[in-house]
């Protein structure tokens, strides 16, 4: 009897519960895959063979880069295993994920890689000093105006990674928590579009966001401290998400073809299978602003997530040249005779997301 493809995974328990991981086990079984939890603290060789490694190790990776020896050992162990097994499909590669750890650098990647005139990432700059005069000078050089959003420089690996603030004036620059990135606030009618991407598939979820702010607000409002997960949570009823009744602009209807272009563009830039893209539509220009990109997001409201994940895994395995599918499910190609029908065209060519 032929062995099944083994999908090894390491995903935090909290995330597994949120995703209802038992459902994924059922989907894997129905598609002929074996799902296996991996202990990343011990030898992967002894737990193999693995054909796919699916993980959410952003915190571990971040801790490793911050000098945590235990985390660094885990990352090294994974890197060594991956190097010894070049046919292993990794979702997602550690080097690709690393490009999103530093928000300033990730915004640079986005700014340099955007290919469409109606899509942009808001003006940004890294703030490196607590000296107010130096901050003012830095903001002016970059053209950052009030109000602006102040975000932690490190995007994951800390409970503070999503704790942000909106700064309205110079006297409140003292509230900036280093290290951080200042990013222009874009008026967007309190609507955030979360683009959840799974390989070739994506789904758009509309979420509440901040209302519009104007120049006069900078004279009367003080710093707004918030957690980005809370303000954009489904069903959020924050007072900051309510548009002023005397100044409600026309809502710009989203163009899903532009969303599709954004998804493809971000995939080309970061080469990730599981990624979330936060987009707002600037209310007075209709342009699309990419305000953040996240690794392996929550996928709340994404239909058929596990089915699309398996579909993406199949396509990546196909690109490795060892994948076959028949009526009995997915099995190792070396175990199949040549007269068995493949579920995919053998010469199908797709751009690899590595």
Contact 329, 294 (CB under 8 A): no
Among residues 138, 145, 142, 139, which one has the least CA distance to residue 217?
A: 145
Alpha-carbon distance 305 to 319, whole Å? 21
- Cα-based distances in Å from 111 to 10, 206, 316: 32, 24, 28
DSSP class of 174: G
Residue 353 pLDDT greater than 70, yes or no: no
Into which CATH architecture does domain 98-295 fall? 2-Layer Sandwich (3.30)
Residue 350 pLDDT greater than 90, yes or no: no
Among residues 307, 299, 303, 322, which one has the least CA distance to residue 6?
A: 322
Quick one: three-class SS letters along 311-346? HHHHHHHHHHCCEEEECCEEEEHHHCCCCCCCCCCC
pLDDT of residue 243: 80
Given the DSSP bridges, would you call strands 5-10 and 33-37 parallel, antiparallel or unpaired?
Answer: parallel
pLDDT of residue 3: 64
Alpha-carbon distance 64 to 41, whole Å? 13
Question: Stretch 240-257: mean pLDDT, rounded?
Answer: 76
Contact 243, 189 (CB under 8 A): yes
Domain ranges in the chain are 5-96+303-335, 98-295
pLDDT digits (tens, 9 = 90+) for 98-134: 999 999 999 999 999 999 989 999 999 999 999 999 9
pLDDT digits (tens, 9 = 90+) for 284-329: 899 999 999 999 999 999 999 999 999 999 999 998 775 555 444 5
pLDDT digits (tens, 9 = 90+) for 191-200: 999 999 999 9
CATH 3.40.50.11370 describes domain 5-96+303-335: yes
Residue 333 pLDDT greater than 60, yes or no: no
At 67 the three-state DSSP class reads: coil
Contact 265, 113 (CB under 8 A): yes
pLDDT of residue 126: 97
Alpha-carbon distance 198 to 218, whole Å? 40
pLDDT of residue 328: 47
């Amino acid at each position: 009897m032929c062995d099944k493809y083994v999908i090894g995974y390491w995903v935090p328990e909290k995330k597994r519960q949120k995703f209802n991981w038992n459902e994924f086990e059922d989907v894997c079984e129905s598609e002929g895959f074996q799902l296996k939890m991996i202990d990343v603290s011990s030898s992967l060789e002894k737990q193999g063979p693995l054909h796919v490694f699916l993980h959410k190790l952003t915190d571990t990776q971040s801790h490793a880069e911050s000098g945590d020896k235990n985390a660094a050992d885990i990352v090294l162990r994974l890197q060594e295993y991956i190097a010894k097994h070049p046919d292993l499909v990794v979702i997602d590669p550690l080097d690709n994920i690393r490009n999103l750890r530093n928000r300033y650098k990730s915004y640079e990647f986005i700014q340099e890689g955007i290919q469409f005139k109606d899509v942009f990432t808001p003006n940004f700059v890294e703030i490196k000093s607590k000296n107010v005069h130096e901050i003012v000078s830095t903001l002016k050089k970059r053209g950052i105006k009030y109000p602006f959003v102040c975000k932690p420089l490190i995007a994951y690996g800390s409970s503070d990674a999503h704790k942000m603030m909106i700064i309205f004036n110079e006297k409140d620059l003292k509230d900036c928590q280093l290290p951080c990135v200042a990013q222009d606030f874009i008026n967007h009618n309190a609507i955030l579009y979360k683009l959840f991407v799974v390989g070739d598939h994506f789904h758009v979820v509309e979420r509440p966001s901040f209302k519009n702010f104007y120049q006069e607000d900078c004279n009367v409002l003080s710093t707004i401290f918030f957690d980005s997960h809370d303000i954009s949570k489904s069903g959020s009823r924050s007072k900051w998400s309510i548009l002023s009744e005397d100044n409600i602009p026309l809502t710009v209807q989203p163009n899903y073809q532009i969303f599709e272009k954004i998804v493809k563009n971000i995939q080309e830039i970061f080469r990730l299978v599981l990624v979330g893209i936060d987009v707002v539509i600037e209310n007075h220009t209709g342009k699309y602003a990419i305000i953040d990109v996240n690794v392996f997001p929550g996928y709340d409201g994404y239909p058929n997530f596990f089915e699309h994940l398996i579909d993406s895994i199949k396509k990546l395995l196909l690109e490795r040249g060892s994948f076959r599918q028949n009526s009995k499910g997915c099995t190792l190609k070396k175990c199949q005779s040549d007269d068995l029908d493949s579920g995919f065209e053998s010469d199908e060519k797709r751009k690899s997301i590595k």
